[in-house]
Structure 1
Amino acid sequence: MIPHPLPRLLAVCIAIMAPMLHAPQATAAHDFSALTALANGALAGQHVGTPVPGFEIRLLKHGVPIYHQVFGAWSLNRPANVDSSTKTLSGALLMSIADSGNGGFSLDSHLADFLPEYNAPGFRDITIRQAFSHTSGIAGDEQALVLYQKNITLRQAAAIIKQTPLAFTPGSTFSYGGLSMQAAGAAAEVATGERYIDLFAERIAEPLGMTNTSFVIASDTNPRVAGGVESTASDYSRFMDMLANDGVDRATGVRILSSAAVNEMLTRQTNDGQPVNNSPADNNYYGVGVWVNQLVQAGPPVEAMAAGARGFHSWIDQKNDLVFTFATDLSHFANVEVLSSMMHAAILDAVPAADFDLDGTVDGNDLAIWQTAFGATRAGDANADGVTDGADFLIWQREHANAAASPSSLSVPEPTGIALALLAMAPFVRCRR
């Protein structure tokens, strides 16, 4: 094997720069004043249709909490009805079952494979994928009585849902609602031989330490698959961070979902050719139980978002490895949607992507972290592509140049042109065999 010359040249350049890395650096906490101002404004009715009486915000970067505050008539980690944010929890549960392959269960399985009454014209064509992306053809009714009946089983609920004729040809139309997901939950029970609430506890809640998260609507035998969970900001943030971290819980290192399952879940399952019959987001950008590419009103989109009717919502900014949770059940999502987009923009201004040590500034300490992580870990991954490489250095360089304009910052000299070129080529460095 003849070694490629670039790695050695790259190491030389880093060695030349090493003395710069350990120069004293001024540090500063993240300036979240704009985010806090938006939150306080929401209490007074600013940037929302009506004032939001109380809520909680929890923000993670690289899985680390960097902002957690309560506003108004709310308390820290108060349980909230997450409403349709339950859909994302259930989407993850179904992906877990698909990962394990219990009973042949997969996104492309048909409801009729597990529920014999669905082996009927039209109904037999409905897949689990369609049931969890609002394209099953089953009417999108969030207020159907069957979703609130306590004294029936999930299996019985599915049979009741089947009694109503399809509203659309399966796969043809986006119609937001929970009935198709209720039927898919019954299929999951049949495939595994376990109750839905037990599956959720075993596969999602317990491994993630979500001790304050459970189904409270309608009952243990007929849990509302698409809207029945109560949770807290801390619990839900940890769940969303697992998705942001490729299916692995950062706190324990335990894998909850396969990388392929997370990728499929967060990939749009709909298309522009499917007309929107009804949608709270006025579009049909939807994955498996989760909205994708949302909140574009005030800044760049977030890649994934769970959102509930009474305002509880959580989003993932994959590019910047951020997880944001807005916990409340005292408002409604349409009232806070634009506010959340504005908060995303304020957060991006306050949290540079290359602030690897999360001290609020991009400096030589972050460059040292990048150097140590280069080609080995994700600690210096500024663009959230899963690796620490030359592209991340270029982000550090750009953000450091911006930070260096502040008189309170100690400048780190710019690398030479040859060093910059080599660092930029780092992603392409390979050994010849």
Structure 2
Amino acid sequence: MRHLRLLMDAAAVIALTACASANPVNSAPSSQSVVSTTAAAQHKEAPTVTSVASASIQTTPTTSAVTTTSEATRSASGQIEVTPKSFHQVSQTIKNFVDRNQLNGAGFIVVDRDRGVIYHNHWGEFSPDRISLIASTSKVISAGVLVHLHDQGILNLEAPIGQVIDYAGRLGGITPVQLLSGSSGIPGLQPEDPLYICMFLPSSSLQRCAAEALSVAASDPRTVAPDTEFRYGGVQLQVAGAVAEIASGKQWADLVDEIYVQPCEMRSLGYSNPWIPLQAVSGEYPNWSGDLSLLPPTDNPHIGGGGYITTGDYGKLLSMHLNDGTCGGYEVLSRSGVELMQQNRSGEVYGSPIGYGLGWWTQSPNRYGASANQETQSTVRLTDPGLYGSTAWLQPDDGFGAYLVVESTTSVGQRLANMLYPIVESAVQAFRSG
């Protein structure tokens, strides 16, 4: 019961942070209107799943390669840090913020479409080798896994999930693209909601959790028709991960390794379900300094928020998105796949005032859904912020992206990110003109 109480508190923190509760349909229901948690708990046996022939994931070599500016130094570990003079104000702003807020440090990387890494620096306890939990900043990475499978003809993002898994039941008409864009109709992250607690349990599996979630959601009165309301995150992303596993015939960890780690030559990217092992339930960064041995293996990685990575490896992901999906000379995503992820799907498909694509918040500026009309903005900025203060952003029209990581809270990380947006733009322009 104590674990359940803590996990419910964690869900409340995440949901409130993400502003998912801003949607009145997503408010916590009364006890009379929810499905019994006992019934959900009884659904424990691993489901029988449809076997789908999987094709081996192939990456297509390209001539594009990411380069690194010559204005660089090497850290004690041998990893490259880049600190050109045009970014002096950026460096000073982050240093002052870390000192003023008594943070344990920060990391920041900026990548240019044509020049590769143009800035890479760390403060305090952080270094190029530091692996951090990134919570919801995992969502762009997770969405890319399914988009890759779509590009390869292994999974059709627009086809019903009932064609892939045999336990979808009444909700078999939902499509993978709806799951990834918060448009499936399944309730998103909720405060005080034990019905979908399986997404936080490392002892479960993606298949078991997805089967349980779909069964519960089918009779949950909060479930609505797909493509009618935006619901942020939650168990719908566990369902997406389960669909990817069955379509490919591979586990999530193997997909991440084959799609990202190998072609992009990454050292650190992985997924876990850290909530119980690290007691990561307060909304503040847990007492964890990157020791992967404290994250036990799980068949139920948290698809919407279980990623961990270094700054350098996240920079490679951003470079890939800027370069039409190529990474390390290989095609990870197609150009159309990259564009699909950046599309304001929630706004264009069903008129949601909240702009969201596949992992990216698509309206600028935004703070977990508190978005403005993009037509009035001079800058198109795609963002993927996380619970612990990390933020990835991409300005595709300007040809650069950035990743900021602090180990604190969303509010702290977003305050720093908002300070950095304009001065990073100026620094990039100065770097190019210099």
1:204 counterpart residue number: 260
AA of the residue aligned to 2:410: F
1:242 to 320, 341, 347: 320
133-142 or 83-92, larger mean C-alpha shift = 133-142
Superposition deviation, residue 302 in structure 1 = 4.4
Partner of 1:177 in structure 2? 233
User: How big is each residue's C-alpha offset from its partner over 1:8-57, in whole Å with a ceiling of 9 and x where there is no partner?
Assistant: xxxxxxxxxxxxxxxxxxxx954223212321232244xxxx65442111
Structure 1 position 224 matched with structure 2 position 286: no
1:163 aligns to what SS in structure 2? helix
Kindly provide the amino acid, as one letter, of the partner of residue 86 in structure 1. S
Displacement of 1:271 in angstroms is 1.4
1:140 aligns with 2:188: yes
Of 9, 14, 34, 2:89 maps to: 34
Aligned residue type for 2:358? V
Q: Where does 1:238-317 land on structure 2 (aligned, <5 Å)? A: 238-249=316-327, 252-271=328-347, 284-295=354-365, 300-317=378-395
Contact 1:111 1:183 in 2 (8 A): no
Give 1:149's aligned amino acid. Answer: L
Q: Using the alignment, how far apart are the partners of 2:225 and 2:106 within structure 1?
A: 40
Residues 296 and 341 in structure 1, CA contact (< 8 A), matched pair in contact too: no
- CA contact 1:174–1:275 (8 Å) conserved in 2: no
In 1, Cα distance between equivalents of 2:348 and 2:259: 33
**Structure 1 equivalent of residue 424 of structure 2:** 347
**Cα separation, 1, equivalents of 2:197 and 2:385:** 22
Give distance in 1, aligned partners of 2:203 and 2:147. 28
Work out whether 1:117 is the aligned partner of 2:167: yes
CA 1:155–1:133 in structure 2 vs 1: closer, same or farther (change >3 Å)?
same
Give the partner amino acid of 2:411: A
Residue type of the alignment partner of 2:111:
L
Task: Tell me the distance in 2 between the aligned counterparts of 1:44 and 1:189.
Answer: 44
Q: CA deviation at 1:177?
A: 1.7
Q: Equivalent of 1:54, from 99, 102, 105?
A: 105
Instruction: Report the alpha carbon displacement of residue 295 of structure 1 after superposing the two structures with TM.
Output: 3.4
Indicate if the aligned counterparts of 1:295 and 1:337 stay in contact, CA closer than 8 A: no
Question: Equivalent residue of 2:362, what SS?
Answer: strand
1:95 aligns with 2:171: no
CA distance in 2, matches of 1:131, 1:51: 38
Aligned to 1:306, the other structure's residue is in SS state strand
Q: Which amino acid aligns with 2:397?
A: K
Percent sequence identity over matched residues? 24
How many residues are matched? 313
Q: CA 1:296/1:89 → structure 2, altered by over 3 Å: closer, same or farther? A: closer
| Map of 1:153 onto structure 2 | 205
The equivalent of 1:323 in structure 2 is 401
Q: Which is further off, 288-297 or 318-327?
A: 288-297
Please tell me whether residue 72 in structure 1 is matched to residue 124 in structure 2: yes
- Alignment partner of 1:293: what SS? coil
CA contact (8 A) 2:343 2:362 kept: yes
Map Cα deviations across residues 393-417 of structure 1 (whole Å, 9 max, x no partner).
xxxxxxxxxxxxxxxxxxxxxxxxx
Residues 40 and 29 from structure 1, CA distance in 2 versus in 1: closer, same or farther, beyond 3 angstroms?
closer
CA distance in structure 2 between the aligned counterparts of 1:54 and 1:225, rounded to whole angstroms: 26
Flag the structure with larger Rg.
1
Give the conservation status (yes or no) of the 8 Å contact 2:133–2:306: yes
Deviation at 1:338, TM superposition (A): 4.2
TM-score, with length taken from structure 1: 0.67
| The 10-residue stretch of structure 1 (123-132 or 226-235) with the greater mean CA deviation from structure 2 | 123-132
Q: Which runs of 5+ in 1 are unaligned?
A: 1-27, 277-282, 362-433
CA distance in 1, matches of 2:366, 2:247: 39
Q: CA deviation at 1:197?
A: 1.2
Across the aligned residues of Structure 1 and Structure 2, the Cα RMSD in angstroms comes to 2.6
Partner residue of 1:107?
157
TM-superposition CA deviations, 1:105-130 (whole Å, max 9, x none): 2221222222223231xx23311111
**Does the CA contact (< 8 Å) of 1:63 and 1:241 recur in 2?**
no
Quote the Cα distance in structure 2 between the aligned partners of 1:237 and 1:302: 19
Contact 1:91–1:290 (8 Å) recurs in 2: no
Query: 1-side partners of 2:380 and 2:418: how far apart?
Result: 9
Contact 1:137/1:168, CA 8 A, preserved across alignment: yes
